[in-house]
Amino acid sequence: MELIKLGNSTYYIKNVNNIGVYKVNDRDCYIIDSGNDADCGKKIIKLLNENNLNIIGIISTHSHADHIGGNKIISNRCNAKIYAKGIEKAIVNYPIIEPLMLYGSNPLLELQNKFLMAHPSNSKELEDIKGLEYLNLKGHSLDMIGVKTLDNVYFLADSLASHNSINKYHIFYLYDLEEYLKTLEYLKTLKGTFVLSHSEVTNDITSLIKENENKIQEIINIILNICKIPLTFEEILAKVFTHYNLVLNINQYVLVGSTIKAYLKYLKENNKLNYEFKDNKMLWYLM
């Protein structure tokens, strides 16, 4: 972990999940997200203390476990307030909702793991903080936000999949494809320094936006091609995995499965796919 300066008041902690740091005076700062677990939270506190900074608040961009894992320990040890928006706040406070949503019912115990379910932390509704602006970055999760600082630094959370992730895993988690595509259009209008959670810091996200768009179009084409024959969701998921030579495990099953369902909804709303019930199976077919 390393604290890197990006502007007068803006820093970030370089990490597997980059953490934003916004100084409000010589002593106090807010952080943007808190890493994937308590251990990461401890390291953030230590690093900032070494730099004479005290954390007074955590802004959680969204409720995924790798962004809120340090919330509890940081809030306990630093007496920091935690802020999150609307329904994301609900999941930060009741993280069982995450595996519940992915599984569709009381989640299997093996889904109640640290990747899909953080420890609960007590967040409150997002508040205005001088020098910060919140951006609406819906699509990846229910109501993800980004944060812009007065130094023209944009913390964009998981609004773009990284180059490595696109090439290695092909399918990145999405909750709402329609909103995600709108977010990509919005990102094209921004100019500044960009900190994504899982990519290198850059001043130019144009090519990464294009890569994300291209991969989404590729997945849409694969699904449309697969559905030339009416198939169940399970069959579609299996064929997409086979296409990309990926191997299913329980986390991938719910994360990619849920993402494929987001694609199916998008394709239905755009009159490309429809479904019917036949022999007590729900079959998706090309319109």
Cβ within 8 Å of residue 153, ≥6 positions away? 6, 7, 10, 12, 20, 192, 193, 194, 195
End-to-end CA distance of the chain: 51
Q: What's the per-residue H, E or C state across 32-55?
A: ECCCCCHHHHHHHHHHHHHCCCEE
- Judged by beta carbon, residue 64 or residue 215, the one nearer Zn ion is 64
- Judged by beta carbon, residue 253 or residue 275, the one nearer Zn ion is 253
- Judged by beta carbon, residue 111 or residue 231, the one nearer Zn ion is 111
Rounded Cα–Cα distance for residues 33 and 24 (Å): 17
Give the residues lining the site for Zn ion (CB under 5 A).
64, 158
State in angstroms the smallest separation of the CB of 53 from Zn ion: 26
State in angstroms the smallest separation of the CB of 158 from Zn ion: 4
- 238 backbone dihedrals φ, ψ, rounded to 5°: -60, -40
State in angstroms the smallest separation of the CB of 144 from Zn ion: 7
Rounded Cα–Cα distance for residues 263 and 174 (Å): 9
- Judged by beta carbon, residue 38 or residue 68, the one nearer Zn ion is 68
As given in the structure block, the two tokens for residue 179 are: 């909103």
State in angstroms the smallest separation of the CB of 70 from Zn ion: 15
Cβ within 8 Å of residue 22, ≥6 positions away? 9, 10, 11, 29, 30, 31, 32, 129, 131, 132, 147, 149
Closest CA to 53 of 77, 26, 78: 26
- Judged by beta carbon, residue 143 or residue 149, the one nearer Zn ion is 143
State in angstroms the smallest separation of the CB of 178 from Zn ion: 18
- 236 backbone dihedrals φ, ψ, rounded to 5°: -65, -45
State in angstroms the smallest separation of the CB of 139 from Zn ion: 11
- Judged by beta carbon, residue 33 or residue 222, the one nearer Zn ion is 33
- Judged by beta carbon, residue 143 or residue 158, the one nearer Zn ion is 158
State in angstroms the smallest separation of the CB of 65 from Zn ion: 9
Rounded Cα–Cα distance for residues 256 and 38 (Å): 26
Rounded Cα–Cα distance for residues 212 and 219 (Å): 11
In the bound state, the residue with its beta carbon closest to Zn ion is 64
